[in-house]
Every structure is written in structure tokens, then in C-alpha cells.
Copies of this chain bind each other. A is one copy, B any other.
């Protein structure tokens, strides 16, 4: 009977206006009213991974697979788990995908549609398929080609370019993520376009991870490049530090509001200057032991907080992921394709040296993300409810999903309140998912606040103010976006 139903005619695909709202009708009514006041607000995206070239050159998005599938490692990893080769999806191929390849890849996604039941990826996809592309049939083997054609036609429309979409999506602020040696020419181009930049800010983010990891085999070359980019001799730690400060200054001059950091742990360490200089020297000569390289990395990471106290860039920290866990996939497809797995996080003791030195500095904002949910109520909320610099980053990556976000809200708000939460950070390279993600966040804000109203813990007018603050005030304040 299931099969007959599915083959007789395609099932409809719809986007319900009440999606993600609480089941209880009374609470749902409150959620609707709250959401009505935030749904049309502009999008502020203070951390993400959209390539600046797309916007600077206003590039055509290519085709449905190239737009929605190949670059989305959330979707790819689920397909991989269910037996699809990443190369079939266009990942890590030497060659260009043909039209037939792209259709085949897209069909794989549609065939595996039920494997996404209940996932956040499905939620975002439906929002895009219906809301942006006007698709009205459920993905399946039978409907794959029709859907592909519908999307392809939309992509070819003249208003379907990054800059036009930024208007349509009401993206007011968008941060990209960039290498410290990047000349930021694309950002300069965008800033120079007065007509565009009157309506949108597209700014870089300083991402120095690789330059802080002396254990990397390519660290010396990276540091040399950093010195060259900064025009500073990096032969000593002082030179290296000066080069870092200079590149941060350069980023800030190009609009950057934050630096982003992701290391395997969150241990901070402040070595005395001579010891740090000695380790730097050993690392530069390739003689640092594993322990020394680790100590130096922790010191250099902590030193970014010191620099942030000086230049005021907000620090976002995304720690404790074992990158490229699957060595075979890494060898075949390279980094960032899906084989990353989170690990336990410890912040209380790990952050103590950084926080004792800079934790209440009025110029430092430190936004802490985690994939380890146990840390929310145990460490992040108490830290953010004491240290002035500490803010709690919203759920990210594996935990950026509706139920998980509700857990987060319930875990941190009761101790830290709303003022210590980062506001929505989409952290995505999937351009068309940006409005879906921010809309999901606003719906869940409304759902959570409606729950507080129904439990008589907050008045409705307070909930309306709070909802707006989460969308506008918190990111503006925490990422210092006031012009």
C-alpha cells in the first residue's frame, strides 16, 4: 500500500506556517505572536563560511547539485553513512561533473529522502525547496528530475545571484572566514561598491588556527607566509606576535569584527616570555617535542585573547572536534568533507589562565561554542554568568537542530539569562540555507519564550522585547556591529 501510494502520484511538499511551534494550542498562539514580530527582521550573520568570491563576483550558482549538495557536508555525511560515495556527489573529484553526473547525484539525495526524516538537514532543505525554489512534490526517485529542473530554472533567473539574494533574504551583515594571509581584495571590492555596501556589510573573519599549531608539518612555511604578509621578520616570537597583531589590524581595517578559533582542546596557558620564546625558537627549528608544540599552541591561542583586548576583535571559539577522524576518507577526499567527530570538552579548568588574565577585560568578548551538551549547564552558563567577556555560543554543527536548540535554551538561560547568549550564528557555507537557518532560530526563540509566558515566568511584552533582542541587540553588542 505504501508503494502504491508513492507511485500513484507524488506526495506534496509543503511548508507549514506553524512549523517548530509548541504542540499545546495556547502556547502555540503565544509563539505565533512572538514570531510575527521577528520574522521579517534583517539577518545578521556574524560568523559563517560563504566564499567572498560568490558575492564579490556575483557568481551564477551553477546547478542544483553544485548549489545544494556538493558543498554541504551535513548532507554528504548522512548519504555517505547510507552507502553513497562522496565522489558521486561531486566531492574530491579531479574532473568537472557533467550534467548527467549532477542529475545522478541529485537523484541519490532524492532516493535517500527518508534517511533524512527527523533531521535538521531535512528541515532546512524543505524550507529551501518550497520557500526559495517553489518545489511542491516530495523528493523521491520518481520526482528527482522534475525537482532538479525546477531548481535549475530558478538558478538561471537573473535575480538568482548572490547579491540579489542578499536583498531578497534581507542579509544585512555577513562575515566570511578567511586566512590571515589573505589580501582581502574581494572584501575591498565589496566595500568599494557604495551602492551594495549601503545595504549590506560583508566582512572578513580572522581565522589563524593553522598558524597557532606548531605541531603541523607545514607550520614553518605558514609562519613564513604570515611574516611576509605582515612585512615583519618572524625569526623570533616577538616578530611572530607583531606579525599576528599586524594582520589582525589589517583584517580590522577591512571590516573584520572577530577572530575564529578551533583547536582540539580549550586549555589555555600563559608561559613566561622567555620560555615561550624558547619554545618558539625550538619549533621554528623543527625541534619541538609534541608536548612543547602543544604548550606553545596553548600559549599562542591564549595570546590571541591578549591581542583581542587591544584591538577589540571578538573571539569565537569552536573547540574539541577530532578532525578527519576517518583517515581513509581524508586521504581520498581531503579535509572538511564529513569525517569529523566531536569529543568531550572541559572549559572550567582549561580556560582559567585566559580568564584570570583577561576574563573581565571590557574590550574582550569571548564566545564559546560546544558540541558537548553536558557543558552547557555545568560550565558555560556559570562562566558566562560571572566573567564579563564570556558569551555562550548557540548550538553549532551537529547540535544546530530544533530539539537540540531547545535543550540549549533550557540548559543555559536559567542561570545565565538571555543577555549572555551570542544570538544566531549560522556558521554555514550553504548560501541558500541562511534564511532557513535564521528563520528556524527565530521560530525556536518564539517557542521557548512562549513556554516561559505560558509557565507565567515572563510577561508577553517582555517576551516580545526579548525575542527582538536575541535577533538584533545581542549580535550587535557581542560582535560590536554598531558602525
Contacts from A to B (Cβ < 8 Å): 2, 5, 11, 15-16, 18-27, 77-78, 80-83, 114-120, 122-123, 138, 322, 325-329, 338-344, 346, 348-349, 352, 355-356, 359-360, 362, 371-374, 377-379, 381-388, 390, 398-399, 401-404, 407, 410-411, 413-420, 451-452, 454-459, 461-462, 464-466, 469
Contact = CB atoms under 8 A, between A and B. Distances in A.
B81 A387 contact: yes
A410 B403 contact: yes
A9 to B, nearest CB: 12
A386 B80 contact: yes
Contacts of A378: 342-344, 371-374, 398
Residue with the highest number of chain B CB atoms closer than 10 Å, among A81, A83, A348, A413:
A81
A326 B417 CA distance: 20
25 contacts: A2-B461, A19-B455, A23-B454, A23-B455, A77-B386, A82-B419, A116-B417, A117-B462, A118-B452, A118-B457, A119-B417, A138-B459, A322-B349, A325-B352, A326-B359, A340-B382, A341-B383, A342-B378, A342-B379, A343-B379, A344-B378, A371-B377, A403-B414, A404-B411, A404-B414
Contact of A19 (B22, B372, B456): B456
Nearest to A118: B413
A23 B20 contact: no
A120 B322 contact: no
B344 A413 contact: no
- A-B CB proximity, top 3 nearest: A401-B414, A16-B456, A19-B456
A117 B458 contact: yes
A78 B119 contact: no
A325 B348 CA distance: 8
A2 B468 CA distance: 11
Contacts of A462: 114, 117
